[in-house]
C-alpha cells in the first residue's frame, strides 16, 4: 500500500497545540510520512472554535489546504470540528471532534479513505517531542465542569477528565530525555486535576523529581484553586516558574455574576495577595473580556482600575464573541463593535503600562533564562517570570543561563528585559545520572 505524506496545521490554545503534536506522532506511528515542505496528500486542520474569529480562521485554513498542490484529503479535527457544518463540511474528507478516543475515530476515517489499512492501528501514548526546541506542552486534563455563561468549551469537550499520573510522569521523562528543558502543564481546567488519588500538587511533586527538567510552568489556574499545599511547592522548589495565569475576565462584580464566574473582584485580589505571600514577586498574568452584554462604561472602568491596582505582568485582552448554545449569546445589551474596539485599545494600553511597571521591578534581580533563540551576537528566551529576556554573546538553544536583569525596553507586544550573564550551563548539564 502506498505511504502517504501528511501535514498537521493547528490554531488555538495550548491544549490544541499538544493535541496537534499527538496527531503528528500518531500518524508517524501508523507509517505515514511527514511532508517536511513537500506536497502533502493528507492535510489535518486541528482548529479552534472558542471565538467566532478563531472559527473563521480555521475555515480559511481548511479552504487553503483544499487548494494546496497535491492535497487529496483534508480532515478537520479539534473543537472546530464539533461546530462546523454547511458547505465547507461537504468538501472535507472527514470531521473528527476532540474528545474521548478521538485518535481511534481519526483512524476509522483514515481507513475509510484508504489512507491506512483497516487492520493497522497505533496506540496513542502521548508525545515524545514537540515542535519548539526547548519548551514542551504536556496536557494532563481535558474538559470542564464549570458553566461560565459565555464559554462553549464544555459543550465541545465535555466533562472534566484527567490522565493518570503515571502516564504524565512517563511522558515528561521522555521529553526530558529528548532535551526539553521547560514543561508547561496544560489542560482546559488544570486546577481540577485528580487521578490515581493524586491532585495537582501531588502531580507536580512527582514531576519535580524528573531529572533534566529545568523548569515547570502551569498554564492556567482558577483563582479558587490556590491551596496551601499547591502554593507551598514554590517555597520548596526553584524549578517551578514564579508565574501564575489567573483569568479574571472582568473587574466588575456585576459582570462577573452575569458571566457565572464564582468569585468577586475582592476574592480575586485576595487570591493574588495569597500567592504573593508564598512566591516572591510572581508574574501574575490574566485574561480580560471586553464588551460582555450589558457592560457599561462604569463596568469597564472597574476593569481598567483593577489592571492598574493588581499590577499584572501581562494581559490578554479579547472581545466578547457570542457562541451558539451559550446563555450569554441570548443576553440583551450588546455593546457596539466600535465601542468594544475603543475599550480594547484603552485596556491594552493600560495593560502595557502595568506590564512595564512589573518588569521595571525586576531590574537588579537574578533570574534563570532558558535560551530559545540563539544567534551570533546574542540570545533570548523566557525567564521564569514570563518576561522575554535578551543577553549578548554566543549561546545555543536549551542552555540554562543565570542572568541579572539590568534594563527594560519596550517591545511591540510587551516589555523586554536586557540582562548580563552570571553563569551558563550546557543543554544537558542539569541532567542527573
Q: Helix, strand, or coil here: 423?
A: strand
How do beta strands 42-47 and 5-10 pair? parallel
Residues 92-131: tens digit of each pLDDT: 999 998 888 899 999 999 999 999 988 877 677 789 999 8
Beta strand 378-383 with 366-374 is: antiparallel
pLDDT class of 38 with cuts at 50, 70, 90: confident
Asked if 142 and 15 touch (Cβ cutoff 8 Å), the reply is yes
The SS3 call for residue 136 is: strand
Predicted local confidence at residue 207, as pLDDT:
98
- The per-residue pLDDT for range 274-330, each reduced to its tens digit, is 999 999 999 999 999 999 999 999 999 999 999 999 999 999 999 999 999 999 999
| 426, pLDDT greater than 70 | no
> If you ran DSSP here, which 8-state letter would residue 410 be given?
E
Across 82-96, 97-111, 124-138, 406-420, least confident range? 82-96
What does the pLDDT read at residue 100?
Answer: 82
Q: How confident is the model at residue 431 (pLDDT cuts 50, 70, 90)?
A: very low
Average pLDDT over residues 13-18: 96
- Residue 430 pLDDT > 50, yes or no? no
By the 8 A CB rule, do 390 and 419 touch?
yes
Please report, for residues 230, 304, 332, the alpha-carbon distance to residue 335 in angstroms, rounded to integers and kept in the order given. 39, 17, 9
Q: pLDDT value at position 429?
A: 41
Is pLDDT of 424 > 90? no
Domains and CATH numbers, the chain: 5-113 (3.40.50), 135-359 (3.80.30.20), 366-425 (2.40.50.140)
B/e letters for 55-75, b = 16+ CB within 10 Å, e = fewer, are bebbbebbeebbeeeebebbb
φ/ψ bin of 111: left (φ > 0), alpha (ψ from -120 to 50), beta (otherwise) = alpha
Distance CA 95, CA 77 (A): 6
Answer whether residue 47 shows pLDDT above 50. Answer: yes
Give the per-residue pLDDT at 91: 87
pLDDT value at residue 122: 67
Alpha helices in 371-419 (DSSP H): none
Amino acid at each position: 500500500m502506498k505511504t502517504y505524506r501528511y501535514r498537521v496545521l493547528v490554531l488555538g490554545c495550548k491544549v490544541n497545540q499538544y493535541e496537534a503534536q499527538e496527531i503528528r506522532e500518531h500518524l508517524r506511528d501508523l507509517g505515514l510520512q511527514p511532508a517536511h515542505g513537500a506536497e502533502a496528500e493528507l492535510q489535518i486542520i486541528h482548529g479552534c472554535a472558542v471565538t467566532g474569529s478563531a472559527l473563521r480562521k480555521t475555515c480559511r485554513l481548511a479552504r487553503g489546504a483544499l487548494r494546496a498542490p497535491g492535497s487529496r484529503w483534508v480532515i478537520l479535527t479539534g473543537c472546530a470540528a464539533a461546530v462546523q457544518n454547511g458547505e465547507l463540511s461537504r468538501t472535507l474528507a472527514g470531521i473528527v471532534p476532540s474528545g474521548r478516543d478521538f485518535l481511534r475515530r481519526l483512524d476509522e476515517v483514515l481507513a475509510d479513505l484508504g489512507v491506512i489499512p483497516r487492520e493497522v492501528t497505533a496506540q496513542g501514548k502521548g508525545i515524545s517531542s514537540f515542535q519548539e526546541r526547548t519548551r514542551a506542552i504536556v496536557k494532563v486534563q481535558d474538559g470542564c465542569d464549570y458553566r461560565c455563561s459565555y464559554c462553549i468549551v464544555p459543550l465541545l469537550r465535555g466533562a472534566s477528565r484527567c490522565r493518570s499520573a503515571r502516564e504524565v510522569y512517563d511522558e515528561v521523562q521522555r521529553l526530558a530525555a529528548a532535551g526539553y528543558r521547560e514543561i508547561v502543564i496544560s489542560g482546559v481546567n488544570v486546577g481540577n486535576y485528580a487521578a490515581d488519588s493524586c491532585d495537582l500538587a501531588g502531580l507536580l511533586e512527582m514531576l519535580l523529581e524528573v531529572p533534566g527538567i529545568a523548569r515547570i510552568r502551569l498554564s492556567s489556574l482558577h483563582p479558587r484553586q490556590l491551596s496551601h499545599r499547591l502554593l507551598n511547592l514554590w517555597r520548596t522548589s526553584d524549578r517551578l516558574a514564579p508565574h501564575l495565569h489567573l483569568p479574571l475576565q472582568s473587574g466588575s462584580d456585576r459582570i462577573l455574576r452575569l458571566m457565572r464566574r464564582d468569585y468577586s473582584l475582592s476574592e480575586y485580589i485576595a487570591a493574588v495577595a495569597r500567592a504573593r505571600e508564598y512566591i516572591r514577586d510572581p508574574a501574575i498574568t490574566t485574561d480580560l473580556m471586553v464588551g460582555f452584554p450589558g457592560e457599561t462604561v462604569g463596568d469597564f472602568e472597574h476593569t481598567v482600575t483593577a489592571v492598574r491596582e493588581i499590577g499584572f505582568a501581562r494581559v490578554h485582552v479579547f472581545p466578547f464573541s457570542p457562541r451558539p448554545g451559550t446563555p450569554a449569546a441570548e443576553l440583551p445589551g450588546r455593546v457596539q463593535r466600535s465601542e468594544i474596539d475603543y475599550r480594547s485599545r484603552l485596556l491594552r494600553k493600560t495593560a502595557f503600562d502595568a506590564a512595564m511597571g512589573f518588569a521595571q521591578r525586576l531590574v537588579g534581580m537574578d533570574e534563570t533564562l532558558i535560551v530559545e533563540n540563539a544567534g551570533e551576537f546574542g540570545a533570548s528566551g523566557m525567564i521564569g517570570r514570563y518576561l522575554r529576556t535578551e543577553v549578548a554573546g554566543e549561546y545555543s538553544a536549551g542552555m540554562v543561563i543565570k542572568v541579572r536583569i539590568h534594563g527594560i525596553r519596550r517591545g511591540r507586544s510587551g516589555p523586554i528585559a536586557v540582562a548580563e550573564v552570571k553563569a551558563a550551563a550546557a543543554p544537558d548539564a542539569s541532567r542527573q545520572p
